[in-house]
Amino acid sequence: MSIKVYVPLDSGSVALGADDVAAAIAAKASKAGSDVKIVRNGSFGMYWLEPMVEVETPRGRVAYGPVSTDDIDALFEADFLTGGPHKLYLGRTQDIPFLKSQSRLTFQRCGIVDPVSLDDYRANDGLTGLENALKMTDEEIVKAVTDSGLRGRGGAGFPTGIKWNTVREASADQKYIVCNADEGDSGTFADRMIMEGEPFVLIEGMIIAGLATGATKGYVYTRSEYPTAIDVMNEAIKVARAAGVLGDNVLGSGKAFDIEVRMGAGAYVCGEETSLLNSMEGKRGVVRAKPPLPALEGFLGRPTVVNNVISLCSVPVILEKGAEYYRDYGMGRSRGTIPIQIAGNVKHSGLYEVGFGLTLGEIVEQIGGGTATGRPVKAVQVGGPLGAYFPKELFDTPFDYEEFAKRDGLIGHAGVVVFDDTVDMMKQARFAMEFCAIESCGKCTPCRIGSIRGTEVVDKLERGEQPELQIELLRDLCETMKFGSLCALGGFTPYPVLSALTHFPDDFKPRALDIAAE
């Protein structure tokens, strides 16, 4: 029997050298005559330990990390193929505290399975949700999703079941399920991780959405920055077709569903659902006015569900274990679990799935372990480039849609980006405006022009030209953008700007002296 060694194919692990590590292990094993089978799995999301190598032993899977090619000789000497002791030894994977303390519902198999092995997926209870759904009516499926309390994980937090019901009730010759895998928010990588590590759960979720709404065709629209996710998704779709999970006769039910992957072309705004639909139709990715809702007139004018990857990936477990099981996690009106992505200047960077309700302080200080540089935390941006900066004084805010809104913030796609005390908040405010200017679709003036004006105002402020006036102008501009923009790119850019200004006023003092010194 060959020994199974796991080395992630996840882009994050590969970015830290996983491909070279896998090659070095294979070379050394063949030289030493050891019978090793290397499985390229997804990542468990503990990036400070990546590349994390696991070995299957009689006492379970044990981990070593972070492994570099320089460690391979020593690992073989330490007999790591039988789980021998070494300074990089982390114990059994499942016992690593960061992993053990999570509630992994959506990501339950990510890291554990071979991403493109349908047998692995089934052996770990995969497809049970779909099998259950096939025994239910469309109305019953929608009810289960509604009762679970699942809200869209793409940012807006709209109840998934209600969206599905609108599409279900619409009549049309063709309906679509469009998975929004554009994941443009900085600080987020949950969509990428699950597409690379557990693609079948997305396929399963999309098929269930199809059964619930009467859609027979699905699209995954993802970014060109995610080549590995695209490859793994395409491979998994091929495997699913060959196994009769996708196609004209889903698991022998007589129902049809198929999926195609589409690639964006480097436009952040195409994550906005109507811009995304325009892009898929081969148009400029300009935002459409609503109504009509995509649920009624979406892709090619037909009823379309547009859902985020994580929303769709959360559906199989709801159908497998029941709405109540899912709803029992979380707090208030934020039900279920949320994969929090902890990034930036933080010691334990990675993905942490847990029920809603942890405080921001717990996430940053306890789970994240504080900054990577060891300096004090100064600010935390939650929810991507359109999310607010939080100071330490607001660390008691619970991770919950409504609680964040109360403090002029948003959860967005649940990215948490940590900055230490060297960050210059005026620079961050300027960047928010600059980003909006670069990515604006150009449809509304407050967004297109206001953002450029915003960068100019910050520049003047930095040069010390009538600072009080500039701050007033900046606040005015933000008001105009908030209320005069069609979509959240222009409408929410004021969040990072105003939060920086409100919570870190000292950083907005003129810099004349610094500039002279340079």
Partner 1 sequence: MPDNVHNKQEFDNMLEREACMSETTEDQNVRVAAICDQLITLEGPLLPILHEVQEEFGYIPDGALQTIAKKLNLSRAEVHGVASFYHDFREEKAGKHVIKICRAEACQAMGADALGDQIRRHLKVDWSQTTADRKITLEPVFCLGLCACAPAAMIDGKVVGRVSADRILQKVGS
Q: Are strands 377-382 and 415-420 parallel, antiparallel or unpaired?
A: antiparallel
Please say which residue, 367 or 447, places its beta carbon nearer to ligand FMN: 447
Q: How far is the CB of 486 from ligand SF4 (least distance, A)?
A: 4
Rounded to the nearest 5 percent, the helix, strand and coil shares of the chain are 50, 15, 35
Q: How far is the CB of 42 from ligand SF4 (least distance, A)?
A: 33
Q: How far is the CB of 198 from ligand FMN (least distance, A)?
A: 17
List the interface residues with partner 1, window 413-442 (CB under 8 A).
Answer: 415, 417-420, 423, 428, 431, 435, 438-439
Please say which residue, 141 or 444, places its beta carbon nearer to ligand SF4: 444
Instruction: State phi, psi for 355 to the nearest 5 degrees.
Output: -60, 150
Which residues are CB-contacts of 204 (< 8 A; sequence separation ≥ 6)?
126, 127, 129, 130, 245, 315, 316
444 binds, among partner 1, ligand FES, ligand SF4, none (CB under 5 to 8 A by kind): ligand SF4
Counting contacts by CB under 8 A, is residue 218 touching partner 1? Answer: no
Segment (H or E) for 437: helix 425-439
CB 110 within 8 A of CB 12: no
Among 201, 208, 239, 269, binds ligand SF4 (CB under 6 A): 269
Distance (Å, whole) CA 329 – CA 472: 43
Distance (Å, whole) CA 213 – CA 215: 6
Among 61, 109, 153, 430, binds ligand FMN (CB under 6 A): 153
Quick one: which of 458, 459, 383 has its CA closest to 188?
A: 383
Counting contacts by CB under 8 A, is residue 341 touching partner 1? Answer: yes
Which residues are CB-contacts of 463 (< 8 A; sequence separation ≥ 6)?
510, 511, 512, 515
Joined together, the tokens standing for residue 220 give 């995954």
Q: How far is the CB of 475 from partner 1 (least distance, A)?
A: 22
Beta bridge partners of 416: 342, 382
Please say which residue, 186 or 228, places its beta carbon nearer to ligand FES: 186
Joined together, the tokens standing for residue 31 give 């030289």
Counting contacts by CB under 6 A, is residue 447 touching ligand SF4? Answer: yes
Among 90, 215, 319, 487, binds ligand FMN (CB under 6 A): 487
Residues forming contacts to ligand FES in the complex (CB under 6 A) are 186, 440-442
Coil/strand/helix, residue 110: coil
Binding window for ligand FMN (CB under 6 A); candidates: 83-91, 175-183, 210-218, 227-235: 175-183
Counting contacts by CB under 8 A, is residue 47 touching partner 1? Answer: yes
Distance (Å, whole) CA 388 – CA 410: 7
108 binds, among ligand FES, ligand FMN, ligand SF4, none (CB under 5 to 8 A by kind): none
CB atoms within 10 A of CB 292: 12
Look at the block and give the residue holding tokens 């196994």: 243
List the interface residues with ligand FMN, window 308-337 (CB under 6 A).
Answer: 308, 311
Q: How far is the CB of 16 from ligand FMN (least distance, A)?
A: 24
Residue ranges in contact with ligand SF4 by CB under 6 A = 269, 287, 440-444, 447-448, 485-487, 489-491
Residue ranges in contact with partner 1 by CB under 8 A = 11-12, 14-16, 45, 47-48, 50, 183-189, 191-192, 224-227, 260, 262-268, 279-286, 299-300, 341-345, 349-351, 372, 381, 385, 415, 417-420, 423, 428, 431, 435, 438-439
